[in-house]
Chain A
């Protein structure tokens, strides 16, 4: 059974329709990536999955249950967790408090200690800055904190929007390695990325979003060889 099913979602803002029938099926344990041009609606799709936007039609099923009507704040405790675009940290709160907030749902709370150790093992830099306010950290540190906060929630499915945006290549490489570690822990991951080459390289499966629809899908290796994908997204 797929861990997440998005069935023919249409959605948008006000009168403006952005998604015209997006569909996904994520298999548990795999890393899937969703790519597409700027402004095509990738973030909008994630917002709809998280319940920040209501689907106009279609539904979202998580672990077999229709969660389309579940309030956004009740999704984290089911294990559905988003690392949002632009990090969206609690800027006036300390690094430690941000991590605590990540673990604040009923699911994450009992594992706070273990997950804190996990995060520190992955990002030792955060441990050195526990009392620093999130908004005074560098861009790279903030992204580590955003991912760390996601891990604290004890996710079964971790959605990550624009992990690599604006970060130095070395750090991007490290973060992608960290994702592999998370995958090895059994966490299902969906990556939404600008960096198409790299995300296809680390993913098992991929979707291409175009004109508000999931236009193309397939094993990541296959997509990488696809002429259309190569021309449109890889610049080859």
Chain B
């Protein structure tokens, strides 16, 4: 029973970071209708970013801010280089463009970093609450994910660029008529998606070992969460992440860990069949 409780709490904490990663994927999908296959690569870059900065003497949480900023800029750059020209082409073109970006990042990353696992040798200790022991890095990651979700929400609903993102997402042609450059807004959205992915990656790296290829797993989780929470909805993604985290905490209690992905993707398929717009029923 105590073991169950402990793994539930752990699942929730980690799940919120999954939710953060998924937000990056769903934001890009929601605004620009692009399935970003470089999402996992952005997550991995975030991991290596924090890792590199940590080894260069930065506190990982300070490094996270730098990684977030770089994620934004790199995302914007990639939009202009790889996506802008095909943004109005059929979705297969943008899919392949992000796939190409993914392959480039992973290829260069493998050459530079090899695929041997890394860890950030950093601990904030842990605390116990009755029968549960919580690692502070995980608690902090969960708090950060919650805070970033809130900030993203405020950004989208209270600031002018945020409203532009929603307007472009809702009706690109009408947004242009109002005087909004949809190109700039699409680039910004892609940058924000990369920022969220890289930040989630950086947070994960503070408590899990990783390689340049680790992003793949989290990319798949992001897809599952995306269909759960409804694509294009930050809170939906956070809740989807928590559900997935709970499942990951629960499943190993009743069956071998190898079943985790099986159950996750079974869930994925069932949701797609039953509620194609996500459990939280987002639009479209």
Binding site for B on A (CB under 8 A): 50, 52, 71-77, 81-82, 84, 88-93, 97, 100-102, 104-106, 108, 149, 153
Contacts and interface: CB of A to CB of B under 8 A. Distances in A.
Given A92-B283, A100-B163, A101-B163, A74 B179 contact: yes
25 contacts: A72-B177, A73-B181, A75-B179, A76-B177, A76-B179, A82-B177, A84-B177, A88-B171, A88-B177, A89-B171, A89-B174, A90-B170, A90-B171, A90-B174, A91-B170, A92-B169, A92-B283, A93-B167, A93-B170, A101-B175, A102-B178, A104-B164, A104-B179, A105-B179, A153-B178
A90 B181 CA distance: 16
B178 A101 contact: yes
B179 A106 contact: yes
A77 B181 CA distance: 12
B118 interface: no
A71 B160 CA distance: 21
Given A92-B283, A100-B163, A101-B163, A76 B178 contact: yes
Helix, strand, loop or mixed for chain B's interface? helix
Contacts of B33: none
Interface in B141-188: 160, 163-164, 166-167, 169-171, 173-182
A92 B170 contact: yes
Contacts of B164: 104
A91 B167 CA distance: 9
A104 B170 contact: no
Contacts of B173: 52, 84, 88
Nearest to A88: B174
Nearest to B168: A90
Nearest to A82: B177
A73 B174 contact: no
A72 B182 CA distance: 10
A168 B182 CA distance: 35
Nearest to B181: A73
Given A73-B176, A88-B174, A90-B171, A104 B166 contact: no
A104 B171 contact: no
Contacts of B160: 104
A73 B179 contact: yes
A73 B163 contact: no
A91 B283 CA distance: 10
A221 B174 CA distance: 34
Closest 8 CB pairs of A and B: A105-B179, A76-B179, A88-B174, A90-B170, A73-B176, A72-B176, A73-B181, A101-B178
Nearest to B282: A92
- Which residue among B166, B174, B178, B180 has the maximum number of chain A CB atoms within 10 Å of its CB? B178
Nearest to B157: A97
A76 B177 CA distance: 6
B103 to A, nearest CB: 32
B166 A90 contact: yes
